[in-house]
Amino acid sequence: MKKLNYTISVIISGLIISSVSCTGNTKKVAEAAKPEVLPEDIVELRTDQIKLANIEFGAVEMHQMGNILKVNGIVSVAPQNLATVCMPLGGFIKNSTLVPGNYITKGQTIAVIENQDFVDIQQNYLESKNKLIFAEADFKRHTDLYREDVYSEQNLQQVTVEYRNQKAMVKSLEEKLLLIGINPEKLNEDNISSSVSLVSPINGFLKEANVNIGKYVSPTDVLFEIVNSDKLFLELTLFEKDADKVATGQKMKFYINNETEDHEAVITQTGKSVGADKTFRVYASVTSSCKNLMPGMYVNAYIEESDNVVTVLPADAVVSFDDKDYIFTWEKEKEEAGKAFTEYRMVEVKKGITGSGYIEIKLPEGFDPGTKKIVVKGAYNLLSAKKNAGEMAC
């Protein structure tokens, strides 16, 4: 009987132990089967996935960077380098051989104008000049006689007035001769002509030629337009909100038409008033040699703002998600089910200016860049793994 009781006790104990053992194993299996829940800012990759993602690490750098302001404008020429040529007294075109595009030097004859009035002016000048010689001699003689009390003061005054009137007449005719292009000093009775040469006042290229032989031109007609393109400048249009971003001396680059070659310029003057359309003008001198640059051309310009030392990372290190900007940092290495994993943490940052492959970032408070390994290559793959955990993340 005792043996039977002992046997039953052993069986019950075994069942209890077996039950406890099975319960413990079931609990461990359940715990092992429960999936790991990662924080919202963590993404993990296996070693083979890291290779596919081309993950590379780097560090925050300090660079001098200037913001780029994009503006539009046109190529212009300074007033002293643009000449509109007219004939002050009008006349008929006797000769002109120039066509638009010809290069012209200062003083070169660009047309010959014929007018009978030119003859009259020359004749009047020479006659007045001869009369002036007589009037001057008469004035000196009467002055001497007045000193000797031979002539009265009234007679001297009358001679003086005639002398000065004749002198004024000669001077006015001299100016008319110079106006039509005749040198009074070289004019004499033997070289009076009905034709005068119209000469260029500047060096440059002929932009417009509104003449033909035999055409009558009036003093208000524009006959030629000459442009000196050696010193061109840009007239740029900026919005008032950008007034504090430009200053004299700033460098800039600009492009014309569809060319890929950039040209250089320097801001020489900024507008002092804002127009009704809330824009103002900025002027820049072209400093590089541009063979295809001509006045009136449309340009796209990029103004470089003052350089500042800022915190930067390569542009590929910063990704955007849900209207926010992030970088990834190395968090830790770990092992699960015999497999090696690496965790990366998403850190929200603020983007600034960009340039030369880098982007300015503003790190969150408390972030120590000296102790963090930052992902500078493969950040977009990590973002993809975060958004599509079934494809890359475990």
- The whole-number average pLDDT for the span 44-55 is 85
Residue 34: per-residue pLDDT: 53
Q: What is the pLDDT of residue 30?
A: 44
pLDDT at 235 over 50: yes
Cα–Cα distances in angstroms (integers) from residue 146 to residues 139, 142, 149, 164, in the given order: 10, 6, 5, 18
Instruction: Output the CA angle 345-348-354, nearest 5 degrees.
Output: 120
- The 10s digit of each residue's pLDDT in 86-139 is 998 899 999 998 888 899 999 999 999 999 999 999 999 999 999 999 888 888
Does the structure show a pLDDT above 80 at 48? yes
Q: How far apart are CA 112 and CA 124, in angstroms?
A: 22
Ranges 14-18, 57-61, 166-170, 319-323, most confident: 166-170
**Residue 32: pLDDT over 70:** no
- What is the tens place of the pLDDT at every residue in 261-291? 888 889 998 888 888 888 999 999 888 777 7
Helix/strand/coil for 301: strand
What pLDDT, on the 0 to 100 scale, is given for residue 14?
45
pLDDT at 198: 92
Q: At what angle do helices 153-180 and 116-147 cross, to 10 degrees?
A: 150
Is 9's pLDDT higher than 50?
no
Output 65 or 162, whichever has higher pLDDT.
162
Q: Between 53 and 116, where is the model more confident?
A: 116
Q: 306: pLDDT confidence band, cut at 50, 70 and 90?
A: low
Residue 28 has pLDDT above 60, yes or no: no
CA end-to-end distance (rounded Å), the chain: 62
Q: Which residue has the tokens 């915190």?
A: 311
More confident residue, 338 or 164: 164
Q: Give dist(CA 263, CA 261) in Å, integer.
A: 7
> Mean of the per-residue pLDDT values for the chain?
82
| Residues above pLDDT 70, as percent of the chain | 86
Give the mean model confidence (pLDDT) for residues 182-195.
91
Nearest CA-CA partner of 296 in 202, 233, 214, 209: 233
pLDDT at 260 over 60: yes
Of 310, 249, 357, nearest in space to 65 by CA: 310
Instruction: Give per-residue pLDDT as tens, 125-169.
Output: 999 999 999 888 888 888 888 777 766 778 888 888 988 999 999
Q: For residue 54, what are its two tokens?
A: 């081309």
User: In the predicted model, is pLDDT for residue 33 greater than 60?
Assistant: no
State residue 66's pLDDT score: 64
Rounded to whole angstroms, how far apart are CA atoms 290 and 254?
11
Q: What is the pTM of this model?
A: 0.54
- Residue 217 has, within 13 A of its CA and on its CB side, a CA count of 27
For the chain, percent of residues with pLDDT exceeding 90: 31
> What mean pLDDT comes out for the span 164-188?
92
- Give dist(CA 34, CA 26) in Å, integer: 12
CA 295, distance to chain mean position in Å, is 15
Residue 307: band (very low, low, confident or very high) from pLDDT cuts 50, 70, 90: low
The H or E element containing residue 299 is strand 298-304
Assign residue 282 a region (left: φ > 0; alpha: ψ between -120 and 50; beta: otherwise).
beta
35 has pLDDT over 60: no
Cβ atoms within 10 Å, residue 366: 5
